[in-house]
Chains A and B, each alone.
Chain A
Amino acid sequence: MEASGATVARRDTTLLARARDLFSRYALILVLALLPLGYAADDLAGGHGLSRIATNLFEGLSNGAIWALIALGYTLVYGIIELINFAHGDVFMIGSFVSFGLWGTLGLTLATGPLGLVGGLLVTLIVAMVVCGTLNTMIERVAYRPLRNAPKLAPLITAVGFSFILENVGQLWLGGSQQGVPDLIHSQSELLNVLGVSVKRADVLALVATPPLVLALTTFISRSRLGKAMRATAQDPEAARLMGINVDTTISVTFLLGGMLAGAAGLIYALYETGIRFDQGFEAGLIAFTAAVMGGIGNLRGAVLGGLIIGCIQQVSDNRIGGEWTPAIVFAYLVLIMVLRPQGLLGEETREAG
């Protein structure tokens, strides 16, 4: 079967290859659009107009902004050491927990005035980012660096191990059930209503807080010296080392950045969902990983795009099919992407083997 595939490949003209590439790309887009388009058509046929599906998609975008932040962490780490950092979702969970703990320490309650609230949340944001960044760097130091030359299986298993350790820490910290957090920003109150789509405070928070973070990250990677070192290491660690780049430091910085984004996402998630749970990181991590793969793992723009798309799919599924099926649907999409186009929407056709 493999051999016959190879002979067919040899007879391929470039035109045929391109046609197949187009098909695999558009087939994936078609599959992704299936759910929203289907329900939009359903609504139109029922004479309900498009406001419901538009609300779903808008909420999906704001929710997807959070997934995008987490997905960036996956994609950064994967881009540089080709490892799926399985513990990343749980670092995000720790971000939520740290934020919640800090509100208590700072005395942020529903009664806090707007100025104190903004100040307090900024402090929380910085602390959550620092804690999660440090945590992620430490995990890399302890669990991944000693296994740099081991088979791929080994660091993946330590990553799973750390994911369990962090979940257990979370469980001991706040218990095994959903923990409600103070709704500091009155997340469900409607700010304005555009053509039947209600814009809530939570949506605005997610959509306003995410772009500066993403922008800061991309600027750092494209402009700074360390960012250049990261790109060089991602291309070829061996050559980067020969050029005088400290590869270990660069990898640590990558984990630091990924962790910081996860920490920020943790805070935004806590404000957005007004509830946190020790195992939120497992599901969030898988959703964000799906987003990263969808966009093309290792590709920053792809991670953001994937996050937004998966957010939309998730909201449509939550709202139309039922929240209990959403994980299954997201995972089904993950499998479909792997089958149809493992390099993702924006990924390159071929990657050089490291």
Chain B
Amino acid sequence: MSTQSTTTSRLQRVRAVADARPARAGTLVCGIVVVAVLPLLLDPLSGFVDTSVKALALVVMALGLNIVVGFAGLLDLGYVAFYAIGAYSVGWFASDHFAAVNHGHGVHVLASVLKSDPAGIHFNFLLVAVIAIALTALAGTVIGLPTLRLRGDYIAIVTLAFGEIIGRIAVNGSSLHIGAYHLTNGQQAISPLDPIKLPFVGSFDSSTNLRPYYWTALALVLATLFINFRLRDSRLGRAWIALREDEVAAASMGIPLVRTKLLAYATGAGLGGLAGAFLGYYINSVNAGSFEFSFSIFVLAMVILGGLGSIWGVVIGALALAYINYYLIPDVLNTLPSKIGLHFDLTQLSFGIFGFLLVIMMVLRPEGLLPERRRKLELKEGVGAGEDLYNVRS
């Protein structure tokens, strides 16, 4: 009798879950449609659409960092390196930078260039995106290699050091040469870049219409979300979470540490490179000055605000911080100090505000705004506290 009733209740629960699924899918589709239609209701050049494009690109970046920090628990403070490499792949492969290639006639693959017969290398957006992902995944693996023996804080410092080295190379790249060319143009920026060219989306001209950029960014976000969800529930994703919770236990359960860690770095880096390439296209210049440590922290703050490891949380965190940084502080709140009789520029305070946010979040709500259940338990119970910083093989 009692067995029968439990069976029925379990059946009911299973049915409830099955019923809920299409409902959630429906909400999701509705949400996507609303977000996709949104720019049609706004001026195609409005500041809000501009901010939204950047915000969506940053969502991709934050989701990439979430794989490394949130899933695998490897604190990466040098994520800006992948932004830089992604952006430079656009600078190298979709501009006039390598001007004398092919006797000044350039190399063109399905490119959309403004002039006819331009010099330099001009690849299509999709091709450049693939190159960016490949380069950053490679860089992520290289950065991951020396951290394999290290844990916690030391990983953070090594990744930070790598990020800074890449930033330095970008700034000083005007004195480094590949053949007859500068590696980068340093602070002088590689500009202009080719516009994006894609079928069905209309022309990409940021001076007349920002909507195509918006839709491209949205498509990238959706693809990244799909990748994130599938990865999280895959064998690899479960291996990452096991690694985060207890490295020794994970290794003794047969998880290959080296491969799992390097895959986390490479995947996270690849998404960072993709977003970096898109931002490079959108900003239409690659300037070494933008690859600073503070950018890494900006992206990290998004992941932490939303909730480490929680995919929807990270999306919300990224959107919130991007709108705060690019819209709320400079456009909406900036007149506030003068209204109450104070004279300072609110934009100067933005990084203090982010620092404050990091501290407050970690002290009061370390699991983030929209926590992932499992991660919340870990943070409450202190999993991973009191481990060594490196293991000495002796």
List B377-394 residues whose CB lies under 8 Å from chain A: 378-379, 382-390, 392-394
Determine which residue in B165, B251, B257, B348 has the highest number of CB atoms from chain A within 10 A of its CB, and name it.
B165
* Contact residues in A for B158 (Cβ distance below 8 Å): 334-335, 338
Task: Judge if A165 is at the interface, Cβ distance under 8 Å.
Answer: yes
Per a CB cutoff under 8 Å, which of B153, B304, B355, B386 touches A165? B355
Task: Judge if A325 is at the interface, Cβ distance under 8 Å.
Answer: yes
**Judging by beta carbons under 8 Å apart, are B387 and A158 in contact?**
no
A100 to chain B: closest CB distance in Å?
A: 20
A286 vs B167: C-alpha distance when bound (angstroms)? 15
A343 vs B150: C-alpha distance when bound (angstroms)? 11
Task: Judge if A169 is at the interface, Cβ distance under 8 Å.
Answer: yes
B177 to chain A: closest CB distance in Å?
A: 15
**Judging by beta carbons under 8 Å apart, are A151 and B379 in contact?**
yes
Task: Judge if A30 is at the interface, Cβ distance under 8 Å.
Answer: no
Interface segment among A142-150, A191-199, A241-249, A303-311: the answer is A142-150
**Judging by beta carbons under 8 Å apart, are B351 and A153 in contact?**
no
The verdict on A342 contacting B357 (CB below 8 Å), with A146-B363, A151-B383 known, is no
**Judging by beta carbons under 8 Å apart, are A342 and B390 in contact?**
yes
* Contact residues in A for B362 (Cβ distance below 8 Å): 143, 147, 150, 154-155, 157-158, 161
* Contact residues in A for B352 (Cβ distance below 8 Å): 164-165, 167-169
Nearest A residue to B382 via CB reads A149
List B154-178 residues whose CB lies under 8 Å from chain A: 154, 156-158, 160-162, 164-165, 168-169, 171-172
* Contact residues in A for B348 (Cβ distance below 8 Å): 168, 171-172, 176
Task: Judge if A339 is at the interface, Cβ distance under 8 Å.
Answer: yes
Nearest B residue to A20 via CB reads B394
The digit string for B246-259, where 1 denotes a CB below 8 A from any CB of A, is: 00000100001110
The verdict on A161 contacting B165 (CB below 8 Å), with A150-B385, A325-B172, A351-B388 known, is no
* Contact residues in A for B295 (Cβ distance below 8 Å): none
A192 to chain B: closest CB distance in Å?
A: 37
**Judging by beta carbons under 8 Å apart, are B358 and A168 in contact?**
no
**Judging by beta carbons under 8 Å apart, are A286 and B164 in contact?**
yes
Size bracket, chain B contacts: 35 or more
A331-B164, A342-B154 given. 12 additional CB < 8 A pairs? A147-B363, A149-B385, A151-B382, A157-B304, A161-B354, A161-B359, A164-B355, A167-B352, A332-B165, A350-B392, A350-B394, A353-B386
Task: Judge if A163 is at the interface, Cβ distance under 8 Å.
Answer: yes
Task: Judge if B215 is at the interface, Cβ distance under 8 Å.
Answer: no
Per a CB cutoff under 8 Å, which of A164, A327, A335 touches B162? A335
Task: Judge if B129 is at the interface, Cβ distance under 8 Å.
Answer: no
B59 to chain A: closest CB distance in Å?
A: 20
A154 vs B385: C-alpha distance when bound (angstroms)? 10
Task: Judge if B356 is at the interface, Cβ distance under 8 Å.
Answer: yes
* Contact residues in B for A354 (Cβ distance below 8 Å): 386
The verdict on A158 contacting B393 (CB below 8 Å), with A2-B256, A334-B157, A342-B154 known, is no
Per a CB cutoff under 8 Å, which of B293, B382, B393, B394 touches A282? B293
Task: Judge if B229 is at the interface, Cβ distance under 8 Å.
Answer: no
A157 vs B77: C-alpha distance when bound (angstroms)? 10
A265 vs B191: C-alpha distance when bound (angstroms)? 43
List B273-304 residues whose CB lies under 8 Å from chain A: 293-294, 297, 300, 304
- 9 pairs across A/B with beta carbons < 8 Å? A84-B156, A160-B358, A163-B355, A164-B358, A168-B348, A282-B293, A328-B165, A338-B390, A353-B388
Q: Which 4 pairs show the lowest CB-CB distances between chains A and B? A: A164-B355, A168-B352, A161-B358, A331-B161
List A282-316 residues whose CB lies under 8 Å from chain B: 282, 286, 289, 293, 297
The verdict on A328 contacting B349 (CB below 8 Å), with A84-B153, A161-B357, A161-B362 known, is no
**Judging by beta carbons under 8 Å apart, are A160 and B355 in contact?**
yes
**Judging by beta carbons under 8 Å apart, are B356 and A165 in contact?**
yes
**Judging by beta carbons under 8 Å apart, are B359 and A143 in contact?**
yes
* Contact residues in B for A338 (Cβ distance below 8 Å): 146-147, 150, 154, 157-158, 390
* Contact residues in B for A5 (Cβ distance below 8 Å): 393
A149 vs B363: C-alpha distance when bound (angstroms)? 12
* Contact residues in B for A149 (Cβ distance below 8 Å): 382, 385
**Judging by beta carbons under 8 Å apart, are B258 and A158 in contact?**
no
A343 vs B393: C-alpha distance when bound (angstroms)? 12
* Contact residues in A for B358 (Cβ distance below 8 Å): 157-158, 160-161, 164
